[in-house]
Amino acid sequence: MPELPEVETVCRRLRPFVSGKTIETVDVLDAKIIRGHEPEQFVAHLLGETIIDVERRGKFILFKLTHGYLVSHLRMEGKFFPHDERVNPVKHSHVIFSFTDGSTLHYNDVRKFGTMELKTNEELFVTPPLSLLALEPFDPNVTAEALHKRLSRMNVRAIKTALLDQSIFVGLGNIYVDETLFRAGIHPTRPAASLSTVEVEAVRQEAIAVLTEAIERGGSTIRSYTNPDGATGTFQETLYVYGQTGNPCRKCGRPIEKMKLGGRGTHYCPHCQQ
DNA sequence: AGCACTGTTTACAT
DNA sequence: TATGTAAACAGTGC
């Protein structure tokens, strides 16, 4: 269930594996994964294409092809598994790529929420879904002033809900947004418009710190995430609030609480986050 | 058994 | 327009 650090970890693993390889066959075992085109068109376009590079934009994986891009989102449970040879699909294998060197890439997705879509170079950033994204969080143009201006226009929205909106801030999901708000000392239900520029800057800095540290640790494995090698991340060892319900806060010792906000489980310290 | 929960996004109703 | 809810699906845990 990847957020930006997990997707970045996946991209770093896939990049050396697929770069320079030419697609020989594509088996679509479940058409639900394919968006934008009929599966037949999807396959027909990919045959003979070479994967030039693997890039990331937000939580999307971008396979740069000879012609255009294959854009993939893992949603909750999507996983890519590289293999040096042809192997049989397993349960929940939905799309299988084989390359002219004999290696294969399997897409596995228990809940089938993940997507794959072809885009031309011209369409890529000016059509949904990528056109809807805010700037990358590490972009210097993401300033406290710009973010504060945007948040100040929100009527009643809670800061947590706003930060999960990828058109406002890119890369945070339910784990890292809770961690960001804890580190910034901001209560998740605070109206987004009520944050001062100083508080917004604290949120921005902590978000970048959390995302950066999580990338360095290969992401977080709470229950099911593994990278394409099957390895787990280790950032979960450093979590302050996510999944820590009832445990003593590492800053003040009072128990971490959990509530429901915007339909998502929300973890916070009632003392450190007023 | 049945229900609530899960790391995401979006279509739809209000 | 903005915001909240349900839905897509499968598995796990109580």
In SS3 terms, chain A reads as CCCHHHHHHHHHHHHHHHCCCEEEEEEECCHHHEECCCHHHHHHHHCCCEEEEEEEECCEEEEEECCCEEEEECCCCEEEEEECCCCCCCCCEEEEEEECCCCEEEEEECCCCCEEEEECCCCCCCCCCHHHCCCCCCCCCCCHHHHHHHHHCCCCCEHHHHHHCCCCCCCCCHHHHHHHHHHHCCCCCCEHHHCCHHHHHHHHHHHHHHHHHHHHCCCCCCCCCCCCCCCCCCHHHHCCCCCCCCCECCCCCCECEEEEECCEEEEECCCCCC
Nucleotide at minimal C1' distance from the A233 CA: B7
Q: Which nucleotides of B are covered by protein (CB under 7 A)?
A: 5-10
Residue A220 has pLDDT above 80, yes or no: yes
Asked if strand C contacts A262 at the CB level, meaning under 7 A, the answer is yes
Nucleotide at minimal C1' distance from the A219 CA: B7
pLDDT band at A221 (very low <50, low <70, confident <90, very high): confident
Other C-beta atoms lying within 10 Å of the C-beta of residue A199: 18
Residue A44 has pLDDT above 90, yes or no: yes
- In Å, what is the separation between the CA of A265 and the C1' of C6? 17
Is the distance from CB of A217 to CB of A227 less than 8 angstroms?
Answer: no
Provide the mean pLDDT of chain A. 95
| Residue A185, phi then psi, degrees to nearest 5 | 70, 30
Residue A231: what pLDDT?
67
Residue A225: what pLDDT?
67
Q: Which nucleotides of C are covered by protein (CB under 7 A)?
A: 2-11
- In Å, what is the separation between the CA of A245 and the C1' of B2? 25
Q: Which has the minimum average pLDDT: A1-15, A37-51, A137-151, A220-234? A: A220-234
Query: Which domains are present in chain A?
Result: 4-132 (3.20.190.10), 144-268 (1.10.8.50)
pLDDT band at A182 (very low <50, low <70, confident <90, very high): very high
Asked if strand C contacts A154 at the CB level, meaning under 7 A, the answer is yes
Residue A1 has pLDDT above 90, yes or no: no
Residue A236: what pLDDT?
82
Nucleotide at minimal C1' distance from the A263 CA: C5
Q: Is the pTM of this model over 0.95?
A: yes
Q: Enumerate residues 6+ apart whose C-beta is below 8 A from A266.
A: A160, A178, A188, A258, A259, A260
Asked if strand C contacts A163 at the CB level, meaning under 7 A, the answer is no
Residue A206: what pLDDT?
98
Active site positions of A, annotated: 2-3, 59, 264
Task: Find the residue closest to C11 using CA and C1' atoms.
Answer: A110
Residue A230: what pLDDT?
73
- List the strands of the sheet with A60-65, edge to edge: A34-35, A115-119, A69-73, A60-65, A51-57
- In Å, what is the separation between the CA of A265 and the C1' of B5? 9
Rg (CA), chain A: 20
- In Å, what is the separation between the CA of A246 and the C1' of B5? 17
Residue A226: what pLDDT?
74
Residue A172 has pLDDT above 70, yes or no: yes
pLDDT band at A252 (very low <50, low <70, confident <90, very high): very high
Residue A155 has pLDDT above 90, yes or no: no
Residue A81: what pLDDT?
96
